[in-house]
Chains A and B, each alone.
Chain A
Amino acid sequence: MALALLCATPAAAQQQPGDVANDLPAAVAEEQITVSSDYRGSFVTVFGVNPDRRGRGDIVVVVRGPTQPARVMRKRQVFGLYMNGDAVRFREAPSFFAVLSNRPLRQIASAESIWRYQLDPAASAQLSSAVPAGADPSAYRAALVRLRREQGLYQEYSGRALPERRGGLTLYQGGLFRAVVRLPANAPIAQYHADTYLFRDGRLVSSQRVPITISRVGFERRIHDLATQHSFIYGLLTVLLALAAGWVAALIFRRT
């Protein structure tokens, strides 16, 4: 992947800083992901073409779930028992975050750009409360990323998808690129976005945002709608089901 670096000549760096175009053709193969009773997660495939004819520059694809408040606690020992310490709150943190790039992100973009365009999950988590006295805020941020990464909710890949990895980004002839990432079943069901960024010489040149909709269908949708919109009726229905099951069981018991 050093080719792209060699092709990126200083002559290309003529644009004004902050002048970011939206001319990056990109699309998502799975614009609608449906969740039915056999849902076990999905793949998201983002593909597009580098508008530069000579294929100069680096591609970064970020698949983001909606941001939500998050809390991280550190266990502390009280009377010999480990219990949760005070919670550190994040005003917003992405519920899902996958970043894919053709080579390691640190080589593509500066730390400042990564922070500014929120290209890594730590950069996207906004701390909103004070940390306990003597604690390090960045440790809590790192813990949030580490725990979510273990759950498969935060993923980072550089280079092409390999069989043993769950995602990757591949560059093809003619500037074509394709990024694949696995969306685990525990990722929230919501509106997602796939953002594609073209970097050249460490600067963002062009970007594009494509929406991805994940929605429940059929039986899953009806159950969820009932549970959230008519929760009292849903509760009664569950009790009725329990009573019916108990009644049938009692009938069978009586017979035998």
Chain B
Amino acid sequence: MIYLPIAEMPVNVLLVLLVSGAVGFMSGLVGVGGGFIMTPSLIFLGIPAPVAVATGASQIAATSFSGVLSQTRRKAVDWRMGILLSIGGMLGSASGVWLFERLLRIGQLDLIISLLYLLLLACVGGLMLAEGVAVMRGRSTPGVSILRRPARTIAHTLPFRMRFPRSGLYISVIPPLGLGFIIGALAAIMGIGGGFILIPAMIYLLRMPTNVVIGTSLFQVLVIASLIVVMQSTATQTVDLVLAALLMLGGVIGAQLGVRLGAGLKSEHLRALLGALLLAASAKFLFDLVIRPVEPYVLGGGLL
């Protein structure tokens, strides 16, 4: 047991390491960021939601930085696009932190977080399950590179166009800024990195080549997560350094083991399993919202 100085509660060190290790393991195995599993897990452990969201961002910063380092060596980061996405993300996360505080004040933060997680987990879980089942049945799913047609999207027709040499694109700056904004706002409110929304959007909306997508999205996630840590530290003082250190340690070790083990395993089974798990979690959020609560009264947030 160790006492968390900001969450003001004792937690079991082994339990936190185990949970963060398991989340890191899964993200290493399946190749997802893991912020959207980590934050609900922390809330489930009894960590107050604001602390879980703000502290989770520091762990996302750690994992995305190690990802950016290895992607940079492969020259798989479009810096110009990354910076543009980050500018949008900074504005988005600033609005997100502001909205977070407003919602906390009017007492609807938990409702919004529940609804967003409900939608997010259902979508991601459904997609993963469908993909995993399709592959297991022997049908080859169309690969991401096949889907990427040289079609023109809205990104090509809007004004303020700019050249992105690394991605080989000449597109408007408005979609990357807007995309960054949305991801930044979601990241601040939900405690997620947002890579799993960002990556499909970059491929299908911006038509970026797949080899730079992961590195560039990791760069944006790193910038946004770092910014959120600093902003939450100053605005709401909900970042717990001790908890953050535990999450980083567990997450890093777990991710390593996951990557090593995942190399020799069929990932579609795991994807289907994780997808089913996420659907179940989403159903739990739904039930909590529609079932008549046993205790109709709730205490207001601990911050205000």
Chain A interfacial positions (CB closer than 8 Å to B): 35-41, 70-75, 80-84, 87, 139-140, 143-144, 146-148, 185-186, 188-189, 216, 219-220, 223-224, 227-228, 231-232, 234-239, 241-243, 245-250, 252-254, 256
Contacts and interface: CB of A to CB of B under 8 A. Distances in A.
13 contacts: A37-B2, A38-B1, A39-B3, A81-B289, A81-B290, A83-B108, A147-B299, A223-B5, A232-B233, A234-B239, A242-B62, A242-B226, A242-B248
A70 B230 CA distance: 28
A232 B242 contact: no
Contacts of A84: 107-108, 110-111, 298
Contacts of A219: 5
B233 A227 contact: yes
Contacts of A238: 58, 229-230, 233, 239, 241, 244
Interface of B: 1-3, 5-6, 8-10, 58-59, 61-70, 106-108, 110-111, 115, 225-226, 229-234, 237, 239, 241-242, 244-245, 248-249, 252, 255-256, 259-260, 289-293, 295-301, 304
A112 B293 CA distance: 35
Contacts of A37: 2-3, 242
B293 A75 contact: yes
Nearest to B63: A246
Nearest to B239: A238
B290 A231 contact: no
B5 A224 contact: yes
Nearest to A142: B297
A139 B5 CA distance: 34
B299 A71 contact: yes
B297 A147 contact: yes
Given A39-B3, A239-B229, A245 B293 contact: no
B62 A186 contact: no
Q: Which 9 A-B pairs have the closest CB atoms?
A: A71-B300, A235-B233, A246-B65, A143-B297, A235-B230, A246-B66, A242-B61, A250-B66, A250-B69
B65 A223 contact: no
Nearest to B65: A246
B58 A242 contact: yes
Contact of B230 (A39, A232, A254): A232
A237 B252 CA distance: 19
Contacts of A242: 58-59, 61-62, 65, 225-226, 229, 244, 248
A246 B247 CA distance: 12
B148 to A, nearest CB: 28
Contacts of A235: 229-234, 239
Contact of B70 (A41, A87, A234, A250): A250
B46 to A, nearest CB: 9
Contact of A241 (B244, B295, B297): B244
Given A82-B293, A87-B107, A238-B241, A246 B62 contact: yes
Nearest to B230: A235
A57 B239 CA distance: 50
B191 to A, nearest CB: 14
B66 A241 contact: no
Instruction: Name which of A139, A146, A223, A246 has the most chain B CB atoms within 10 A of its CB.
Output: A246
B169 to A, nearest CB: 28
A84 B300 CA distance: 10
A79 to B, nearest CB: 10
Instruction: Name which of A39, A41, A232 has the most chain B CB atoms within 10 A of its CB.
Output: A39
Contacts of B6: 223-224, 227
Contacts of A248: 252
Contact of B61 (A71, A72, A246): A246
B10 to A, nearest CB: 5
A191 to B, nearest CB: 16
B282 to A, nearest CB: 14
A147 B252 contact: no
Instruction: Name which of A84, A231, A245 has the most chain B CB atoms within 10 A of its CB.
Output: A245
A144 B300 CA distance: 10
B246 to A, nearest CB: 11
Given A186-B9, A223-B242, A246-B62, A144 B299 contact: yes
Nearest to A233: B233
Given A83-B108, A239-B61, A249 B297 contact: no
B111 A83 contact: yes
Contacts of A245: 62, 66, 248-249, 252
Given A227-B241, A250-B66, A243 B61 contact: yes
Nearest to B70: A250
Contact of A72 (B2, B68, B70, B300): B300
